Amino acid sequence: MTPLLQVENLDKSYGGVHAVRGVSFSLTAGRILALIGPNGAGKSTCFNMLNGQIKPNAGTIRLNGADITGLPPRTVWRRGVGRTFQITATFASMTVRENVQVALLSFHSKLASVFRYAGAAYRDEAERLLALVGMEAQAERPCGELAYGDLKRLELAIALANQPKLLLMDEPTAGMAPKERVDLMRLTAGIARDTGIGVLFTEHDMDVVFEHSDSVMVLNRGELIATGTPEEVRRDPQVRAIYLGEGLLYDAKHREGSAA
């Protein structure tokens, strides 16, 4: 069976910095894969190559077997890759629903249309997506005044508008309260398992990583140093030395988190 996402020997350097070195991995549909590592390890570069924002120097990225290496983000999106950003990127001058409507109009290739009221287009579909992420009550609100956690959920709704096969989430819970984090990831995991979407995410909250991912990859100085189940990665001495630390904070916390 062809994996949903197959990455081989991805390589990128810029300005004398070798940011990503020969990274290879694959992701099966319906699975959730976490990418962790110290700040500056190349996680964001890796991510930006997957959705086409950065062109890799070498290596291939295949989506369901088709080569998507080096395609621009908008083309990658049309192939069925949705993404959320570390710092939310939404359309601040529009209402919450309009944000989703623009994505839907684009998905249905209706953006060139000139003489219709866009605010009336795909309203029901937008409402449904907003309901999915629990934002239906805020559909009319200006996006510019949303709280950060809500922006993250709106981003998820936008990312789901093209019925993606693969969802890329860059620090999906950064800046959220612990409860919100768990909720958002539960929601994402539920959607992924129900619809068979593959999810790849980066995260610093080990609680989220260990609870919601099927497997974890650890990146350090541009190289993958460990891959495995959350339990395996957590016990890996190298990962502990480089990234997890003495577990003063997170091991204890995670035990609490999973007990709750």
Partner 1 sequence: MTRIVNFAHGAFYMVGAYLAFTLTERLAGTWGFWGGILIAAAVVAVLGALLEIVLLRRIYRAPELFQLLATFGVTLMVQDIVVLIWGPEDLMGRRAPGFRGAVEIMGQLVPAYDLLLIVLGPTVLGLLWLLFHRTRWGVLVRAATQDRDMVAALGVNQKWLFTSVFALGVFLAALGGALQIPRDAVSHSMDLRIIVDVFVVVVIGGLGSVTGAFLAAIIVSELNAFGILIFPKISLVLVFLVMAVVLVIRPYGLFGKAEGAQRTSLGLSIRPWRPFTQAERIAVGAGVLVAASLPLFLGNYALTVGSEILVFVLFAASLHFMMTVGGLASFGHAAYFGLGAYGAAFMVKLFGAPMEVALLMGPLMGLVGAVLFGWFCVRLSGVYFAMLTLAFAQIAWSIAFQWVEVTGGDNGMLGIWPASWASKPAAFFWLVLGVVTVGVCILRVLVFSPFGFALRAARDSTLRSEAIGIDRRNVQWAAFIVAGTFAGIAGVLFAFLKGSVFPDNLGIPISVDGLVMVLLGGIETVSGAVVGAVVYKALAIWLMSQTEMSKLILGAVVVLLVVAFPKGIVGFLEDLRHRRRPASPPAGFKAAKVEAAE
Partner 2 sequence: MKLEVSGLNSHYGPAHILFDVAFEVGAGEVVALLGRNGAGKSTTFRSVVGLVSQREGQIRFDGTDISRMPTYDIVRRGLGYVPEDRRIFTELTVEENFSVGLQPPRPGVATWTPERIYQLFPNLGEMRKRPGGQMSGGEQQMLTIGRTLMGNPSLVLLDEPSEGLAPKIVEQMADAILAMRKEGLSIVISEQNLHFAKLISDRAYIIEKGRMRFSGTMAELEANPEIRDAYLAV
Indicate the length of the chain as a whole number.
260
One of 26, 28, 57, 95 touching partner 1 (CB under 8 A) = 95
Interface with partner 1 includes 73 (CB under 8 A)?
A: yes
Strands (E), the chain: 5-14, 17-27, 32-36, 58-63, 66-67, 81-84, 166-170, 198-202, 215-220, 223-228
Cα atoms found within 13 Å of the Cα of residue 146, Cβ hemisphere only: 28
Nearer to partner 2, 134 or 175 (CB): 175
Nearer to partner 1, 85 or 250 (CB): 85
**Min dist. Cβ of residue 242 to partner 1 (A):** 30
Give the CA distances from residue 71 to residues 49, 78, 134, 168, in Å, rounded to whole numbers and listed in that order: 9, 11, 33, 16
Q: Which of partner 2, partner 1, none is residue 230 near (CB under 5 to 8 Å by kind)?
A: none
Q: Which residues have C-beta within 8 Å of that of residue 172, sequence separation ≥ 6?
A: 84, 152, 156, 184, 185, 188, 201, 203
Show the site string, 10-49: x = touches partner 1 by CB under 8 A, - = not.
----------------------------------------
- Are 228 and 47 contacting, i.e. CB atoms less than 8 angstroms apart? no
Among the candidate windows 3-11, 70-78, 123-131, 178-186, which touches partner 1 by CB under 8 A? 70-78
DSSP category for residue 71: -
Nearer to partner 1, 155 or 205 (CB): 155
Interface with partner 1 includes 153 (CB under 8 A)?
A: no
Nearer to partner 2, 19 or 63 (CB): 19
One of 179, 186, 235, 255 touching partner 2 (CB under 8 A) = 179
Q: Which of residues 40-59 bind partner 2 (CB under 8 A)?
A: 40
**Min dist. Cβ of residue 173 to partner 1 (A):** 19
Please tell me the distance from the alpha carbon of residue 64 to that of residue 79, in angstroms, as a whole number: 10
Interface with partner 2 includes 176 (CB under 8 A)?
A: yes
Please tell me the distance from the alpha carbon of residue 146 to that of residue 150, in angstroms, as a whole number: 6
One of 36, 133, 157, 158 touching partner 1 (CB under 8 A) = 158
Residues touching partner 1: how many (CB under 8 A)?
42
DSSP H helices in 52-168: 73-78, 96-107, 123-132, 148-159
Site of interaction with partner 2 (CB under 8 A): 37-40, 145, 147-149, 171, 174-180, 204, 206, 242-250, 252-253, 256-257, 260
